[in-house]
Structure 1
Amino acid sequence: MDTMTTVFTDNAKVMPKGQVTIPKDVRKALGVEAGDRVTFVVSQGEVRIINSAVYAMKLLQEGMQGQAEAAAIRSEEDVLKLAKSVRAEE
């Protein structure tokens, strides 16, 4: 099953302590293994389960959106100049 492009549903039983086992195909689609963390995003009565590392990167990217333009960084050369100036301040 190509879980990255296939839409599917699965279900799991909620145990007395609120625990749920994430089905194998869902874990595979999320790219999570034992010990990894997942994030629950609740909105309008629905829950999305997201790989926490992927979610954190998404939030970082959204938070940084537009920052390069604001700092006039338009090329790799601009990045190198910025890195050199930061290093010189240290």
Structure 2
Amino acid sequence: MAKGQVTIPKDVRTALGIGAGDRVTFLVDGGNVRIINSALYAMEILQNKMAGEAQKAGLEDDEDVMALVRSLRSENIE
């Protein structure tokens, strides 16, 4: 049974920031195919889904986020 593996040329792997064994995602759009580093693609999807959520929670900057993390950690310790 085929494993679904493909060989991606080194210059393309370098441009995508992937190495041997890394996973990629193929996006098909009409007659075109885009190859994307799967980890980066997953992060992009997460960022798009979470867009605006920090502002809704009142987190305006990194310091607000760090304060929330410290607060949650102290709650878990108690």
Q: 1:26 to 1:79 in 2, by over 3 A?
A: same
Report % sequence identity. Answer: 61
Correspondence list, 1:60-75, <5 A: 60-75=46-61
Aligned mates of 2:62, 2:10 — CA distance in 1: 42
- Give the aligned partner of residue 81 of structure 1: 67
Which structure shows the bigger proportion of residues in helix conformation?
2
Q: Given the alignment, which residue of 43, 49, 63 partners 1:57?
A: 43
The reply on whether 1:45 has 2:26 as its aligned counterpart is no
Task: Supply the distance in 1 between the matched residues of 2:18 and 2:27 (Cα, whole angstroms).
Answer: 16
Cα root mean square deviation, aligned? 2.0
Structure 1 stretches lacking a partner, 5+ long: 1-16
TM-score normalized with structure 1 length: 0.66
Could you tell me which residue of structure 1 aligns to residue 22 of structure 2?
A: 36
Q: 1:82 and 1:20 mapped to 2: Cα distance? A: 44
Q: Number of residues paired by the alignment?
A: 74
Alpha-carbon distance between aligned partners in 2 of 1:80 and 1:34, rounded to the nearest angstrom: 36
State the 1:19 CA deviation: 5.1
